Amino acid sequence: MLMQGKQGLICGVANKRSIAHAIAKSLHREGAKLAFTYQGERLKKNVEEIASELGSSLLYNCDVSKDEDIKKLFEDVKKDMPYLDFLVHAIAFANKEDLEKNFHTTTRDGFKLAHDISAYSLIGMAREAMPLMQEKGGAIVTLTYYGSEKVVPGYNVMGVAKASLEASVRYLAADLGASNIRVNAISAGPINTLAARGISGFTKILEITPQKAPLRRNVEVDEVGDAGLFMCSPWSRGITGEVLYVDCGYNIVGM
């Protein structure tokens, strides 16, 4: 019961396959009290069901492209939870066509959208979460991918946005450290979620990864869940501004 008496907010559950769901399951297993955001009424029912399985009825609508949604979210959270121990940010979006065409065709609007949703949202949420974490300290965890540092076919503008997200983790960690708030990222290997399905060649990526990864297999979503738990828990209390790879070692191999 590592997380007994701790409470936090999970952002980015779309369905049962979501990485945010796996992290929420691990946190729940260790006794944490959870609240969830959902992106619009379309996803409310899914998130409601998942929250209820994890003993929670605290749900908030939040589209991170809207400043007013982020502001209202933390005003509402404050009414239900006087204090936040952790915040999980598992949100990314780019136009599908920008993940299919050549990178050099990326439009200004497509670039802005990917960075706004996938990188800026962490900054906006961290700022609003700060007052709720200030007293006892807290942990903020986001999700990133290897395509931020090496070219992965099709990842394109998302790779550039993840590079921005990872740099944001370091700058946020430097600022928020004075309030004993830690900020870290988990770089997960490819997992068959909503954000990965429908990507052309994704099945191929799942086939190729085990040929190179030291553990000779793909990562399981529950392994990312437990790493998320670790980053939210006091066991990682000396770690901030870090990117932790949960990818069966794929990133360490040159060829």
By the criterion CB under 6 A, which residues form the site for ligand NAD? 12-14, 18-20, 39, 43, 62-65, 90-93, 117, 143-145, 188, 190-191, 193-196
Shortest separation between residue 4's beta carbon and ligand NAD, angstroms = 26
The rounded distance, in Å, linking the Cα atoms of 57 and 230 is 24
Work out the burial of residue 23: count CB atoms within 10 Å of its CB; fewer than 13 is exposed, 13-18 middle, 19 or more buried.
buried
**The one segment of 21-29, 36-44, 69-77, 86-94 that binds ligand IMJ by CB under 6 A:** 86-94
Question: Does 94 interact with ligand IMJ (rule: CB under 6 A)?
Answer: yes
Give the HSE-up count for residue 242: Cα atoms under 13 Å, Cβ half-sphere. 15
Selection from 37, 43, 22 nearest residue 87 by Cα: 37
152 binds, among ligand NAD, ligand IMJ, none (CB under 5 to 8 A by kind): ligand IMJ
CB nearer to ligand IMJ: give 132 or 227. 227
Q: Note if 145 is an active site residue.
A: yes
Residue 159 binds ligand IMJ (CB under 6 A): no
**Binding characters for ligand IMJ, 178-217, by CB under 6 A (x = yes):** ------------x----xx--x-----x------------
How many Cα atoms occupy the beta-carbon half-sphere of 194 within 13 Å? Answer: 15
- Rounded distance, CA 63 to CA 68, Å? 9
H or E stretch at 14? none
Would the CA dihedral through 92, 98, 99, 103 be positive or negative?
negative
Residue 32 in the binding site for ligand IMJ (CB under 6 A): no
Residue ranges that bind ligand IMJ, judged by CB under 6 A: 92-94, 96, 99, 145, 152, 154-155, 158, 190, 195-196, 199, 205
